[in-house]
Each structure stands twice: as C-alpha cells, then as structure tokens.
C-alpha cells in the first residue's frame, strides 16, 4: 500500500502488532512450544550465566552442578582488577561514540541520497554494503599499516574513526530506507513556505525518522560492541575493549580461566539482551541492514 497521502510509513505503528494486549493473551499449544523453543535456545547462555556464580571447582565438577551455593566472588574479583572497568569504559566509549557520529553523518548522506539522488548514488550504496560483507581479516593488514602512518594505533580517535566507517554502511542503508518513506511533500511544503533546507532536514524530516535512528543506533552498537579483530590489532593497552580482554586474559596459570570467561562473558552480553528486549521492534530493520522493515 503506498502512502501518497503523506502518512509517513517511517513511523512504526506504536501498537506492538505481533503482541496482543494483556487480556488477549492465552496459553495455546503453539505458545507453549514457542516458550520451550525460546528456553532451549537460551539455555546455553543461562548455563554460562549460572557458571558465573560458581567457583572454578564447581564449574569443572563432574557431574555438572545444577544446585549450588552461588558466589559473587567472580564478579568482585573481576571488577577489582583495574583493567576491567577500563575495558568496559572503552567498550562503551568506542561503541556509543562511533555509532553516534556514524548516525549523524549517515543521516546527512542518506538524506542526500534519498532526495537528490546525486550521480553515483547506487554505486556508492552498493560499495558501502559490499565492503561490509568482506571477511574482516581482509582489511586488517591495510588498516594497521594505515593506522601506523597516521599514528592512530591505540588511540580513541583512530578507533572511533574506524568504527564510524564500520557503522556507516548499515546506517546509511537503514536511514535512506526511512527517509525514502517520508513523503517528499513534506520537503516541498516546507520549502514553499520559505523554510530553509536545513530546517527541512532537521526539523521536518529528522523527527519523522526517529525509529530509523534508533534502529541504526541499536544495531550498530551490537556490531561494534562485539567486534574483536580490529580492536585487537588496531587497539592497544589503552583502548582495548571487552572481547579483547576476554581473549587475551583467557588463560590463567596456563589453564583456561572459566570463572573469568563466564563472569565477563555474562556481564558483557547482558546489556545487549536488555537492549533487544526494549528495542525489539527495531530488530528486523537492524538485522537486515535496513533492507526490510516491519515488526515481528
């Protein structure tokens, strides 16, 4: 259904379509099975989360312990190491910082692509997407040489710039889709009424693509948050994020430090789990890089 009437299809309906309101809910065979499936998929993570509250001996116990005296020691120990809070700080700074910048620049570009269709738009959109589809290892070598020359290695600036580029392709795709969904009549009306182009962009179009901004934000955060290879190679002691911490401090006394892995791994996935709970309606648009929109 097209929307020439000017209704912005970028506004995702505020009612959660896939989810009935409270009183309509009921247990059916399908819903029971759905829950079982969800729990099966979550079980491995739940087990690791449980392990985070165990001692090493309890984790390695045969048979596995389902009932045990939980301990917070792994977490207190983890956060007592001054490096861990620093790694968390780096993870947050790098992901939030770079994604915000990426969204800002992507929004401007997406607006231009959507409204002016400058020559080469399609080619550039294509390139953006395809470079993001190459295995990361392909680009590591040129990047570390480039970063050496620019003196970007192990600096926040360098890594943020890198992650901005990492986030731009999907952001442009997501936002262009949303801006396309805002009728040009808004722009036309604004301009006819004497508003400046800047006013149209920031006051008229921007507020209408908020869902797109949120989707782009949430999904790029997930990608940057989980990124390992580039942070490992381009970052350093000052700028490493949690995946690198998880990897480099994996062993202790020669053996895999399972309490560390489970405590840090759990603490690290928790924010993302919360994020997808609250922003579930943006999941689809995010995971398809803005090429499919809608709700589940």
Contacts with another protein in 196-255 (CB under 8 A)?
197, 201, 222, 225-226, 228-229, 232-233, 236-238, 240, 243, 246-255
Candidates 96, 125, 195, 206; binder of another protein (CB under 8 A) is 125
Q: Does residue 176 touch another protein according to CB under 8 A?
A: yes
Cβ–Cβ < 8 Å for 84, 245: yes
Q: Does residue 81 touch another protein according to CB under 8 A?
A: no
For another protein, give the closer residue by CB, 46 or 72.
Answer: 46
Binding mask 35-74 for another protein (x = CB under 8 A): x-xxx-xx-xx-xx--x-----x-xxxxxx----------
Tell me the sheet residues that pair with 255.
Answer: 252
Q: Does residue 77 touch another protein according to CB under 8 A?
A: no
Q: Does residue 118 touch another protein according to CB under 8 A?
A: yes
Piece in contact with another protein (CB under 8 A), picked from 22-30, 67-75, 202-210: 22-30
Cβ–Cβ < 8 Å for 168, 125: no
CA distance 95 to 163: 8
Look at residues 139, 230, 218, 213 and name the one whose alpha carbon lies nearest to residue 176: 213
Any idea what the Cα angle at residue 278 is, between residues 20 and 292, rounded to 5°? 75
Sign of the torsion formed by the C-alpha atoms of 154, 156, 162 and 166: positive
Q: Which two tokens stand for residue 186?
A: 């808004």
Q: Does residue 134 touch another protein according to CB under 8 A?
A: yes
Candidates 95, 183, 208, 220; binder of another protein (CB under 8 A) is 183
CA distance 219 to 139: 22
CA distance 80 to 243: 18
Tell me the closest approach of the beta carbon of residue 76 to another protein, in angstroms: 20
Candidates 99, 172, 214, 216; binder of another protein (CB under 8 A) is 172
For another protein, give the closer residue by CB, 93 or 236.
Answer: 236
């Amino acid at each position: 259904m097209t929307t020439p009437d000017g209704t912005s299809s970028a506004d995702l309906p505020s009612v959660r379509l896939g989810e009935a309101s409270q009183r309509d809910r009921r247990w059916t065979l399908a819903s029971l099975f759905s829950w079982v499936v969800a729990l099966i998929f979550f079980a491995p993570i739940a087990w690791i989360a449980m392990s985070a509250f165990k001692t090493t001996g309890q984790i390695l116990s045969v048979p596995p312990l389902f009932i045990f005296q939980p301990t917070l020691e792994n977490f207190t120990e983890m956060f007592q190491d001054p490096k861990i809070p620093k790694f968390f700080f780096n993870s947050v700074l790098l992901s939030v910082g770079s994604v915000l910048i990426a969204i800002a620049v992507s929004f401007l570009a997406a607006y231009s692509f959507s409204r002016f269709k400058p020559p080469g738009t399609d080619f550039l959109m294509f390139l953006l997407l395809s470079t993001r589809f190459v295995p990361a290892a392909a680009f590591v070598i040129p990047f570390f040489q480039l970063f050496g020359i620019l003196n970007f290695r192990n600096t926040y600036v360098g890594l943020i710039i890198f992650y901005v580029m990492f986030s731009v392709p999907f952001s442009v795709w997501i936002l262009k889709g949303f801006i396309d969904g805002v009728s040009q009549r808004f722009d036309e009306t604004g301009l006819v009424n004497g508003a400046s182009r800047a006013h149209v962009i920031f006051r008229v179009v921007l507020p209408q693509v908020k869902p797109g901004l949120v989707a782009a934000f949430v999904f790029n955060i997930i990608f940057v948050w989980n990124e390992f290879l580039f942070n490992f190679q381009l970052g350093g002691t000052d700028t490493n994020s949690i995946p690198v911490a998880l990897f480099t401090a994996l062993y202790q006394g020669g053996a895999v430090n399972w309490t560390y892995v489970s405590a840090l791994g759990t603490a690290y996935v928790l924010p993302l789990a919360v994020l997808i709970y609250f922003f579930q309606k943006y999941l689809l648009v995010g995971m398809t890089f803005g090429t499919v929109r809608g709700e589940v």
